[in-house]
Each structure stands twice: as C-alpha cells, then as structure tokens.
C-alpha cells in the first residue's frame, strides 16, 4: 500500500481525528460544499430534520487535503468510514484536487443523491428556516453552521453561500 490523500471540506478540516504527515489547502473542481443532507439525529429530529454538509456535484470547493502514511492508511480509512459512513449517505470517491504542490488524487466523501436523506439543492430561505429552528443530539443546527463558517474563516477559506446562509439564519433566530 502507498500513502493516501484525504480531501476535507467540513469538520475534517479542523478536526481530522487521524494522524497525517502533510496537510495542504486544495481546490476540488466539479463539487461544492452544501447543506444538502437531512439530519434526523445529530442536528434535527424525525419530525423537524436539520441539515448538515455534503459534497455535492457542480461548482468547486476549497478545502484541505491530508496525506496519510501508507502504514496508517487502512486504519485511517477504517476510522473515516466509522465516522462518516454511519448512515451511508456518502460515497467514497477518488477525486483530483489541485494544490500549490501539484495535483493529488484523494479520497472524498461525496453525497449519494439517491439516499433518502439527500435534500437536494434547497433555496436559501428554505435551508435557513430549517437550520434556524432545528436541534438534535449534538445541539442546535445553527451552531453547526456558525462553527463551520468560523472555522472556514480561520483557515482563510471564503464561502459566500455559507456566509449568506448564516446571516439569514441569524436574522430568523432574532425573530
């Protein structure tokens, strides 16, 4: 086995939870970060689902790629499957990520559009209302959005749609 790369677009960027030997900012073309997955447990309930991030087709996404040593590759993939694949809402895809050090082929967890939890491309107002008033076992859905935006800012990653979504969610929360 050789070293592997893992593309991160959400919480894996700031909380990977695994050992890596190198991290680089990267640009993935053909996919974008979106609140497109219904959450019935962590950020919502069956009667009022929240929304969580997925990597969906179209556009582009700035994130991080982590290089994992060959000796730890299987353990890291096992960990990632346990963390990311509990609901089977993602597919593990091999994608080409552009970095300052050249392109790399990485594992990326992209949304399964056929999965029942896939919410599709939601209008901003629809997503904002769902996020503003949902909460689950891991807390309010809006806290997840706020945390994501703040961490992206700290990493120097601009994501205009998420910033606009957060502004609308904050407006709704204020009443």
Q: Which of 168, 169, 97 is nearest to 132 (CA)?
A: 169
Question: What values do phi and psi take at 81, rounded to 5?
Answer: -65, -40
Q: How far apart are CA 46 and CA 12, in angstroms?
A: 26
Catalytic residue among 84, 87, 146, 170: 84
Closest CA to 146 of 136, 132, 156: 132
Separation CA 31–CA 87 (nearest Å): 21
| Active-site residue, 146 included | no
**What stretch of H or E contains 166?**
helix 160-174
Task: Give CA–CA dist 37/40, Å, rounded.
Answer: 10
Taking the CA atoms of residue 6, residue 7, residue 12 and residue 15 in that order, the dihedral angle to the nearest 10 degrees is 60
Provide the annotated active-site residues.
Answer: 84
């Amino acid at each position: 086995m050789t070293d592997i790369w893992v593309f991160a677009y959400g919480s894996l960027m700031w909380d990977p939870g695994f050992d890596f030997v190198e991290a680089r900012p990267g640009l993935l073309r053909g996919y974008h970060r979106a609140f497109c997955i219904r959450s019935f447990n962590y950020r919502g309930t069956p009667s009022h689902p929240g929304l969580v991030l997925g990597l969906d087709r179209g556009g582009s996404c700035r994130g991080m790629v982590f290089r994992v040593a060959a000796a730890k590759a299987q353990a890291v993939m096992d960990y990632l499957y346990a963390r990311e694949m509990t609901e089977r809402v993602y597919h593990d895809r091999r994608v080409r990520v552009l970095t300052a050090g050249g392109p790399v082929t990485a594992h990326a967890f992209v949304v399964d559009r056929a999965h029942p939890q896939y919410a599709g491309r939601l209008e901003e107002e629809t997503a904002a209302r769902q996020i503003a008033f949902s909460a689950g076992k891991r807390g309010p859905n809006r806290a997840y959005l706020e945390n994501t935006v703040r961490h992206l800012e700290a990493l120097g990653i601009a994501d205009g749609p998420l910033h606009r979504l957060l502004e609308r969610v904050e407006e709704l929360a204020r009443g």
